[in-house]
Structure 1
Amino acid sequence: MSGRLGRPVAIITGASSGIGRATAISLSKAGWSLVLFARRFDQLCATKELCEEESRVMVFEGDVTNEESVQNLFKFAVQSFGRVDLLFNNAGVSTPAIPIEEFRLTTFQHVVNVNLVGSFLCTREAVKLFKSQTPPGGRIINNGSIAAHSPRPNSVAYTVTKHAITGLTKQTALDGRQFNITCTQVDIGNAATDMTGPQSTGILQADGKVSTEATFDVIHVAETIVHIASLPHDVTVLNFNIMATGMPFVGRG
């Protein structure tokens, strides 16, 4: 599968920093054409400058929670490159540790809108395009989390949305099966980014202790995305877990 420039085409949400930026750089090195999507235009441009062959990288400023913005993103991608082969649903937010009884509805709704509704909107538009383009098909990779399996204390909104992403992943994989559409959830445990800074300085554990947690270089997440994206569409990786060896996940912490 390839776009007008003879290369596969990927949309990356949340591409202005962190995992999204690292993935954009790695996919560009692997020969992909890219559409980078986020709210911060200046940071999207900074990501683009770090990619290889900037002529193959387009930026689109917008908000994953806005239906019209997401629809325009996919129109822009098709206008730019002719098709889309990969959607990386990466945009997401978390909150500081907040006891559930103190969690504001507006805060909860914001996390749900970014992490879940945004992923749904992008998935819907991707599936619509994947079914209609020639040749049909495509791949969606969702940024999950260890929190999709085991929650941290006082993280109700983030935990709920990441569990919901598992449902979105499975439903998309099922509904896309006969249309050559695959879907993967990548569950990441403390890749070193600005978002995971507190893990390296101390974070609340289930036993009430505050402990530092191991992190690992985000490049390994990016390389994982590149590998999964390179597979033929008759191969699906439904779930992929990548985490620091010292991550307190397996067992009782």
Structure 2
Amino acid sequence: MTETLSHTAVITGASRGLGRALARAFARQGWNLLLDARHAEPLEAVKTELQALTRVLTLTGDVTDASHRQELLEAAQSLGGIDVLINNASMLGPSPQPALLSYPLDVLEQVYQTNVIAPLALIQALHPQLKPTACIINISSDAGQEVYEGWGGYGSSKAALEHLSAILAAEQPGISIYWVDPGDMRTDMHQAAFPGEDISDRPLPEESVPGILQLITQRYPSGRYLARSLPARNQ
């Protein structure tokens, strides 16, 4: 059955970290969810957790795969269109992060395919299903703005994603487009970036969620935002 009255959020990389935290927040508000991740077992665990609260569709696959993006399009059609598209899926690259002179170029290509090409490809694929008031959120990083030794691969990919997002916003003024830095978070990816180090002092991903929800509900102008610098709305 096609849902026409409910809100729908598409979240990539939703099996853990920020993606999972966002899915939980949307589910508590009764949004339909279309969730994607590369690994089936943790993604299905999220579905099992949240389907008591709302309608949840999950698709296991890689956003760099055109056939998987087509599956997401067809699933979005079954839900009656998209209110929010969150490009959260990301690839860190080697762990520990290498200097650029020793960075394996085949891996760098994969990082760019995941962090830059795939978000645009998914926007292109799902654009026909975006509702008139829809918004797009591309999850970025401070590494896309700051110069950190050893972060040339991931950081430059996020810089490219940010510039792509800014140009897209200029070209599509009718769509709210946000590129969001969630801040350091206590996630598996962040741990992989600092192998062997204690990252327990980093905030949990849930602390970045309220600011992202604020963007969606209050419709700030398209632009770059720091998630934890935005005021949290009343829950």
Equivalent residue number for residue 173 of structure 1:
169
**Unpaired runs of 5+ in structure 1?**
204-211, 245-253
| SS of equivalent residue, structure 2 residue 20 | helix
In the alignment, what sits opposite 1:59? 58
Task: After TM superposition, list the pairs within 5 Å mapping 1:58-137 onto structure 2.
Answer: 58-79=57-78, 81-95=79-93, 96=95, 97-130=97-130, 136-137=132-133
Please tell me whether residue 196 in structure 1 is matched to residue 190 in structure 2.
yes
Query: SS of the counterpart of 1:4?
Result: coil
Contact 2:76 2:129 in 1 (8 A): no
Amino acid corresponding to residue 58 of structure 2 in structure 1: V
Alignment partner of 1:82: what SS? coil
Deviation at 1:84, TM superposition (A): 0.7
For the residues of structure 1 that align with 2:8 and 2:76, how far apart are their CA atoms?
A: 8
Matched AA of 1:114 = T
> Contact 2:31–2:54 (CA<8 Å) still a contact in 1?
no
Aligned to 2:6: 7
Q: Could you say what the CA RMSD is over the residues aligned between the two structures, in angstroms?
A: 2.3
Matching of residues 11-22 of structure 1 within 5 Å: 11-22=10-21
3-state DSSP of counterpart to 2:172: helix
Contact 1:98/1:155 (<8 A) preserved: yes
Q: Deviations over 1:81-136 (max 9, x none)?
A: 11111100000011322021111111101111111111111121233332xx5xx3
1:220 to 179, 195, 207: 207
Kindly state the Cα deviation for residue 51 of structure 1 after the two structures are TM-superposed: 2.1
C-alpha contact 1:199 1:213 (8 A) present in aligned 2: no
Q: Distance in 2 between matches of 1:200 and 1:71?
A: 36
Q: Percent identity?
A: 25
Matched, 1:240 2:234: no
Partner in structure 1 of residue 22 of structure 2? 23
Question: What 5-or-longer segments of structure 2 have no aligned partner?
Answer: 230-235
Q: Could you tell me how far apart the structure 2 residues matched to 1:120 and 1:199 are?
A: 29
Partner residue, 1:35: 34
Question: TM-score, normalised on structure 2?
Answer: 0.87
TM-score w.r.t. length of structure 1: 0.81
Give the letter for the 2:118 counterpart: G
Q: Distance in 2 between matches of 1:93 and 1:19?
A: 14
Q: Is the 8 A contact 1:190 1:214 kept in 2?
A: no
Match of 1:251 in 2: none
Matched residues in 2 for 1:41 and 1:5: separation? 28
Shift in Å at residue 216 of structure 1? 1.0
Contact 2:15 2:37 in 1 (8 A): yes
The residue type paired with residue 240 of structure 1 is Y
The whole-number CA distance in structure 2 between the counterparts of 1:226 and 1:48 is 21
**How many angstroms does 1:19 deviate by?**
0.7
Contact 2:27/2:54 (CA < 8 Å) preserved in 1?
A: no
Equivalent of residue 143 in structure 1, options 139, 149, 164: 139
Aligned residues: 225
1:170-212 Cα offsets, whole Å, 9 max, x none, are 12212221xx311001112211111122559649xxxxxxxx7
The CA deviation string for residues 216-253 of structure 1, in whole angstroms up to 9 with x for no partner, is 12112222222222235xx4241111469xxxxxxxxx
